[in-house]
Structure 1
C-alpha cells in the first residue's frame, strides 16, 4: 500500500509538470513577426511574405507598423505580377490610412498597378487625384512627370506637353523639362500617310502601296491584278464567258484586297513613325523613379543614366 501511494503521488507530480516542460506555448512578438515577414519579401518569397504580413496585421492590429505592413503586401503582389490584387490593396491604403507616411507612395503604386493592367485612364486619374490631394511640390511634380509619360505612351503629345509644362520651376532642371518640351515641339513633323489617299490611289492597282513606300507590295499588286484583268479580257474576247466570269470574280477579290491593303499600309506606316518618335522621346527618359522594399518599409530610388 505505501508503495502504491508513492507511485500515485509521483505520477501526479509528473502530470502537473508535463505542460510546463513538454508543452510550453510558442509566443511571437510584433518585432519578430514583422522582421520575418520583411525577410521573406527581401528574399523574393512573395507568397510567404504576403502570408506573414497578414499574420502580423491579424495578431497586432494596434501596432503603428500596420499601415506599412498593408503597403508591403501590395508591393509583394505587384512584384509577383498580381496587379489586380496589388491595386485593391493600394486603393484600400489610400482610403484607410490617409495621412500615413506611405499615403503618397500608395497613390503612385495604385497608378502603376492600373497601368500594368492596361487601365491607362484609371492610372491617369489616380495621379490627378494625388495632385489634387497633395500639398507637397515634390510629390505633385513627380506625379506630373509620370502623367506626362503616360500621355507620351498614348501618343497624346499636347497633353504630355501640358503635364511636363506644369512641373514647378524649381524641379524643371531635375526632370529635364526643357529638353522634353523641345522634343515634343517636333510632334507636328511626324511624317504620316493618308489612308483615304492610299485607297483612292489604289484605283490603279499598287498605287496606294507605292504611296506608302511599299515598293515590292506595289509591284506584286500591279502584276497580279493586271494579269487577271488581261486573262479575263482574253476569255471574254474568245467567247469563253464562264471562264471569264470566274476570272473576273477572282480578280474582284484581288482588286478589293489591293485597296484594303493600301489603306492598311497607310495605317501601319503612321503607326511605325509614331513608334519611332516615341522611342526617341524615351531616350530622354533619363530618370527612373521606383519603389524598392527595405527592412524599414520602402525606399524611393532615382536612377539617372549618363
Structure 2
C-alpha cells in the first residue's frame, strides 16, 4: 500500500514538471514570435574632415602603410572633397617617405594629369624632382628644379634653388652652380654663403689614389703613410719585409721549393698592400665629400624634421 502511494506521487510530480516545461517552452516561442526585432545601427562613417585628419595623423606618426590606406580611402569616398588635392599630394609624399619611389611618381603624375591646376602643383613638381634624384635621374630632377625657379610660387623658387645647388655640388658641376647663383631667387647674404660652399667644395682636399698606389709599389707601407694611416703602414712594411727576408733566406739555403712558396705569398701581400693604399685613398675622399655634403644640408636645412643628416635621400617635408 505504501509503495503504491509513493509510486503515484512520483508519477504525478513527473507529469507536473513535464507540464511546466511545455508551458515554459510555449511561452518562449510566443515571446519570440511576437517580439519586435531590434538591430543595432552600424557605426556612422567618418566625416570627411575626421578621415583626412586621421590619415594626416598616421603620416605624422610615420605609419606609412596606415597613412597610405587612409589617404586612398579619403580619395575614394570624397574624390571631389574640400581637401582632395592635398590628400592626393600627401599620398605621393607618404609613398616617397616610405621609399616606394616608383609608386610615388605614378601617384604624382596621375594627380597632375587629373588636376593640372591643382594648388599643390609646385609641391608635387618639387617632390618629383626629389624622387628623380633618388632614382639617379639627375637631369630630370635638375630640369624640374630649374622650372620651379622660373615659374614656381613662393617659397618654391628658393627651395628649388637650394636643392639644385646642392645637387650640382654633389655632382661636381661647380661652374654650373656658380652660373645659377647669378640669378638665384635668394638674398645676397645667402648667395654669398652658397658661393663660399661651392668654392669650398671645388677645393676640398683630396688624396691622390695614384700617388698612394705608386708609393706603396715603391715601398710597402709608404702608400698608407701618405694617407696618414701609420699603423697600417707599419704592418704592411713589417709583413712584406718578413716574407721578402724569408724567401731570400730560403733561396740562399738552396731550399728552392720553400723560397718559391714564400715568394708567391709575398707577391700576394705586396699586391694587397698596393690595392689597399689605392682603395683607402678613394674611401677617405668619399668620406670627406659625404661629410661636406651633410654639412651643406645642415647649413641650408635640406632635410625634413626628425630625419638624420646622413639619410640616403634629400628629404624636404612640407607643412600646409
Residue-by-residue CA offset, 1:161-210 (whole Å, 9 max, x unaligned):
44444313xx3257x22122123223343222221222112221112112
| Alignment partners' CA distance in 2, 1:117 and 1:53 | 24
| TM superposition shift of 1:116 | 4.9
Q: Which runs of 5 or more residues in structure 2 are unaligned? A: 1-32, 305-315
| TM superposition shift of 1:248 | 0.6
Q: Which runs of 5 or more residues in structure 1 are unaligned? A: 1-10, 293-297, 300-306
| Alignment partners' CA distance in 1, 2:259 and 2:68 | 72
Residue-by-residue CA offset, 1:246-265 (whole Å, 9 max, x unaligned):
01111111111111112112
| TM superposition shift of 1:288 | 6.2
| Alignment partners' CA distance in 2, 1:257 and 1:288 | 40
After the TM superposition, which residues 93-172 of structure 1 pair with which residues of structure 2 at under 5 Å, given as runs? Answer: 93-116=111-134, 120-131=138-149, 134=151, 136=153, 138-168=155-185, 171-172=186-187
Equivalent residue for 1:227?
Answer: 242
| TM superposition shift of 1:60 | 4.3
Higher relative contact order (CA 8 A, sep 6+): 1
After the TM superposition, which residues 8-87 of structure 1 pair with which residues of structure 2 at under 5 Å, given as runs? Answer: 32-43=47-58, 44=61, 46-63=64-81, 65-87=83-105
Equivalent residue for 2:261?
Answer: 246
**In the alignment, structure 1 residue 190 sits paired with structure 2 residue 204:** yes
**In the alignment, structure 1 residue 199 sits paired with structure 2 residue 216:** no
What TM-score, normalized by structure 1, do the two folds share? 0.73
| TM superposition shift of 1:99 | 1.7
What TM-score, normalized by structure 2, do the two folds share? 0.71
Which stretch has the larger CA shift, 210-219 or 185-194? 185-194
Greater fraction strand: 1
Residue-by-residue CA offset, 1:253-284 (whole Å, 9 max, x unaligned):
11111111121122123223323433443442
| Alignment partners' CA distance in 2, 1:52 and 1:251 | 64
Which stretch has the larger CA shift, 86-95 or 211-220? 86-95
After the TM superposition, which residues 206-225 of structure 1 pair with which residues of structure 2 at under 5 Å, given as runs? Answer: 206-225=221-240
Which stretch has the larger CA shift, 253-262 or 278-287? 278-287
Residue-by-residue CA offset, 1:103-160 (whole Å, 9 max, x unaligned):
111111222334455655543343234446x254643332111111223344544444
Runs ≥4 residues deviating over 6 A: 23-29
Change (3 A) 1:158 1:279: farther
Change (3 A) 1:230 1:55: closer
| Alignment partners' CA distance in 2, 1:278 and 1:291 | 19
| Alignment partners' CA distance in 2, 1:144 and 1:162 | 12
Equivalent residue for 2:191?
Answer: 177
Aligned length: 272
C-alpha RMSD of matched pairs (Å):
3.3
| Alignment partners' CA distance in 2, 1:282 and 1:33 | 38
| Alignment partners' CA distance in 1, 2:111 and 2:172 | 31
| Aligned partner of residue 284 in structure 1, secondary structure | helix
Conserved 8 A contact 2:297-2:303: no
